[in-house]
Amino acid sequence: MNKRILNIAIPNIISNITIPLLGIVDLSLVGHLESKVYIGAIALGSMIFNFIYWGFSFLRMGTSGFAAQAYGKKDFQDSFYQLYRALFVGLVGSVLLIIIQKPIDLLSFAIINGSDEVEFYARQYFHIRIWAAPATIAIYSISGWYIGMQNAKTPMIIAITVNLLNIGFNVLFIKVFGMKSDGVALGTVFAQYSGLIVSILFLSKNKKRLKKYLIWKDILQLNALKKFFNVNKDIFIRTMSLVIALSFFTAKSAKYGDTLLAVNTLLLQFFTIYAYIVDGFAYAGEALAGKYFGANDKFNLIKVSKHLFYWGLLMAVLFTAAYYFGDRMLLNVLTDNSEVIRNIQPYLFWVYLIPVLTFGAFIWDGIFIGVTASSSMRNAMLISTFLIFIPFYFLLHHFFGNHGLWAAFMLFMIARLVTLSLFASKNIYQRI
């Protein structure tokens, strides 16, 4: 079982490493420019895209779960239908995003409270990066399908290609052409379309089956679409609740001023790095839990769940040690702004708590996605966001300031673990 987990987890970990690496390079590039406003601009601009792209991440997660269950049943026709449905929905949605980009801009910056200078550069960033939407959302669908089909190597190659090219383009536009945060946005656009081309080349290896199962009346069949949207609706609500929580964190950070906004943006990189590493095991949960659920194999479903938590705990211990001994080294890579480094010191202990307090939620997410227990994921996230995180922030920040914000965020992650654990028996294992 460990070998099966690692066969899927390791390629996803390798590909996921490039995502926070990209974030680190971006922050390092703008963190060494003459002003800290560029860090804030990327933070606020990225927050908007968290809403947009994470809102569409149901296409990756839902496609992964459905494809994994089809794989377990050995129903390859249905697996290709799931791919086509996801690509169709993604194309329609991404074109709509480009059309309504101005209203998104107006609504977003009516909610965000940043300085005028930060908002100017964040708007610039947004209106460039939005053009990457069709490519980004299509890659979500294709990667999710490959993971569901127990193929983690192809999404790894796609992700590494996209993120390494993104780093290269960003360095080119900022260091060579003298651009600022707008260079980061333009680099993302170029990289995403390059990744889409690579994704299409991989899919072309299945050219015969792609043509054979391109039957639109079956792909867009009403009952199948209803099931597709019911599961993905719950994943969408769950994901948007998560985005609201992270965006709430960034928005409240901005209210503390540009310096603490930069501080929290840098500290969140520690969370992001760890999240993407442990997500490799969550992806293994999606593929294997979905496969065993589709095959009606309760014994192996329980077995893989236990093993995934063992691996998650091991990662938590390793990363706690790494963060404790290596935090300042990473910070020096991210920025040389003395004011930011000085103000970040009192908050470093939150970094050491991240791995142990968060790994369980990530592992459960993968298992729940694999068995498409989407309503339970939705309910757990709604409880954690709106009954725990936001109320506790308003309770704590008056007394503890930015520490209160971090404490509320940690309570949010703990609540996700507790609620999903309570829902697991009835909504996963008793369904077989």
Please determine, for residue 21, whether its predicted confidence score (pLDDT) is greater than 70. no
Residue 142, CA distances (Å) to 88, 152, 162, 226 in order = 12, 12, 14, 21
Which of 117-126, 153-162, 211-220, 343-352 is most confident? 153-162
Residue 414: count of CB within 10 angstroms of its CB: 16
Please determine, for residue 339, whether its predicted confidence score (pLDDT) is greater than 80. no
Which of 33-42, 274-283, 414-423 is most confident? 414-423
Residue 222: count of CB within 10 angstroms of its CB: 7
Please determine, for residue 178, whether its predicted confidence score (pLDDT) is greater than 70. yes
Please determine, for residue 25, whether its predicted confidence score (pLDDT) is greater than 80. no
pLDDT tens digit string along 232-255?
A: 788 888 888 888 888 888 888 877
**Alpha carbon 425 to its chain's center:** 26
Task: Extract the tokens encoding 409.
Answer: 């965020």
Query: What confidence tier does 413 reach under pLDDT thresholds 50, 70, 90?
Result: very high
Nearest to 70 by CA among 269, 229, 224, 273: 224
pLDDT at 416: 95
> Which of these ranges, 252-256, 297-301, 328-332, has the smallest mean pLDDT?
328-332
> Which of these ranges, 14-23, 400-409, 412-421, has the smallest mean pLDDT?
14-23
Helix (H, G, I), strand (E, B) or coil at 370: helix
pLDDT at 34: 58
Q: What is the mean pLDDT of the chain?
A: 84
Which residue range is the domain that position 42 belongs to?
2-431
pLDDT at 201: 92
Residue with tokens 């409240």: 252
Stretch 394-412: mean pLDDT, rounded? 90
Task: Extract the tokens encoding 174.
Answer: 């900022």
* Straight-line distance from the first to the last Cα atom of the chain, in angstroms, rounded to the nearest whole number: 20
pLDDT at 422: 94
Interior angle at CA 126, CA 122 and CA 130, nearest 5: 170
Report d(CA 413, CA 400) in Å as an integer: 19
Number of independent structural domains in the chain: 1
Q: What percent of the chain has pLDDT over 70?
A: 94
Residue with tokens 């965006």: 247
